[in-house]
Every structure is written in structure tokens, then in C-alpha cells.
Amino acid sequence: MKITKIQIIGNLVGLIPGIYLLYRVLSVNLSANPIQTATVFTGKTAIYALLVSLFASPLSRLLKLRVFHQIRKTAGIYGFYYALVHFLIFVWADYEFNLSWIIPELKQKTYLQLGLIGLFFLVPLAITSIERIKKELGRTWKKVHSSIYIIVMIILLHVALASKGDLINPAILIALYLLAMIMRLPFLKSVHINNPPPWFKKIDAFLTC
């Protein structure tokens, strides 16, 4: 399969938060509470990436550009990676795989249960993103992957319940999610720009080859 420019760019952008985090870990500059900072940072990166992935299809349709469609998978995969690292920081770096600490917390805290469920259901989506498996699945792939709408909702609930102070930040994320969903409504699906400027098309063609 041919790798396009936008996919390379997508991968580079996807790696930046990880490199930045690693740099701060190695330079011992991750705040007075490094585990907390790393947990929040990876969690935020994951949800941003998943939201980008959700906007890919409707934006592609709206602007009649392929470029957005081609970063859908990259963004989704990075969303999964950062969610996985977020989880590993929690169970490994923070709770040291100590089940006598983890289990009671998991029983008590709804936000932890939701986060775990969200990650659990991201796994099959990540696996079926492998091109060969995707082809084998055929039409089923689309059904499997439409579960992302529910998964992101669960993850956003996890974010909202884990947030402290006022809920402005989770509210913004939820608003973005709802916007991405509204853009999928059948009567809006046919809405798109009629005469995209030519340079739009040029950039699109350049990035997607």
C-alpha cells in the first residue's frame, strides 16, 4: 500500500506529544507530581486524537477533500496509543501493579470503570485497523468501527467525572463531540461546498499522494 504525504505528516504530528513527554521525563522537568502530570497529558492527547479522527469523515465530505479522510486512521491509532500509555502509567508507574490498591479504587470510582471500558473497546478497533484484517472483514469493518461513537462518549464521561473544578474543559470536548455527531445527521450529509477554490484541490492532491 502506498503511503501518502498526509499520512507521514500525521504520524510525525502524532509522535510529537510522546517525544515532548519523554523529553520532560528525561530532563526531570515534569512538575513536582510527575506521574499526575504524565497521566493527564497522555489522557488529553488521546481524547484530542480521537476527536480529530471523528471529524475526519464529516470534514472530508463538507469540503470535498480526501486529505481529512486519510488522517482518520492515523488519528484513531494515535488516540489508542496514548490511551494505552495513559492506562500503563496508571497501573504500572502509579499503582505499581499492586492489585490490593487497584481493585478497591476500580470498585469505587465510576470514572476508572468508564476509562477501562473505553480502552477495552478501542483494542478491537486498533487491531482491525491493520489493512489486511480490514480487507478480510469487508462490510463488517464499518459496523465494528461505528462503535467508536459510543466509545468516545464513554471516554468523555470518564474525562468529565475525572475533572476537577468547574466543568468548562470537559464541556468544550463534549460540544466538539456533539458537533462531529451532528455533522453526520442524514440531512446534513449532503451539505458540502460547491466550488472549492482551486488551491484547495491542489493542496489536497499534493498531500494525498
Q: Pick the piece of the chain touching other proteins (CB under 8 A) from 53-61, 93-101, 150-158, 184-192.
A: 93-101
CA atoms of 109 and 9, how far apart (whole Å)? 38
Q: Please, are residues 39 and 89 in contact by the beta-carbon 8 Å criterion? A: yes
In 10 A of CB 163, how many CB atoms? 16
If binding is defined by CB under 8 A, does position 197 make contact with other proteins? no
**By CB under 8 A, residue 33 contacts other proteins:** yes
| Residue 96 lies near other proteins (rule: CB under 8 A) | yes
Taking the complex as a whole, how short is the minimal distance between the CB of residue 105 and other proteins, in angstroms? 6
Q: Which of 131, 135, 139, 166 is in the footprint of other proteins by CB under 8 A? A: 166
How many residues interact with other proteins (rule CB under 8 A)?
21
SS3 content of the chain, % helix, strand, coil (to 5): 80, 0, 20
Closer residue to other proteins, CB minimum distance, 1 or 168: 168
Rounded CA separation 28/24 (Å): 6
DSSP 66: S
Residue 110 to residue 116: CA distance in whole angstroms: 10
Site string for other proteins, 116-155 (x = CB under 8 A): ----------------------------------------
Which residues are within 8 A (CB) of 51 and not within 5 positions of it... i.e. 6 or more apart? Answer: 152, 173, 176, 177, 180
Please answer whether residues 62 and 191 qualify as being in contact, where contact means their C-beta atoms are separated by less than 8 angstroms. Answer: yes
Minimum separation from the CB atom of position 167 to other proteins (A): 9
Please choose, from the candidates 48, 58, 18, the residue with its C-alpha nearest in 3D space to the C-alpha of residue 156: 48
Q: Is 30 in the site for other proteins (CB under 8 A)?
A: no
Site membership for other proteins, residue 110 (CB under 8 A): yes
164 scored as a contact of other proteins (CB under 8 A): yes
Minimum Å gap between C-beta 102 and other proteins is 10
Check binding of 29 to other proteins (CB under 8 A).
no
Separation CA 9–CA 68 (nearest Å):
12
Considering only residues 13, 117, 137, 162, which one is a binding residue for other proteins as defined by CB under 8 A? 162
The residues of the shown chain that bind other proteins, judged by CB under 8 A, are 31-33, 35-36, 94-96, 98, 101, 104-105, 108-111, 161-162, 164-166
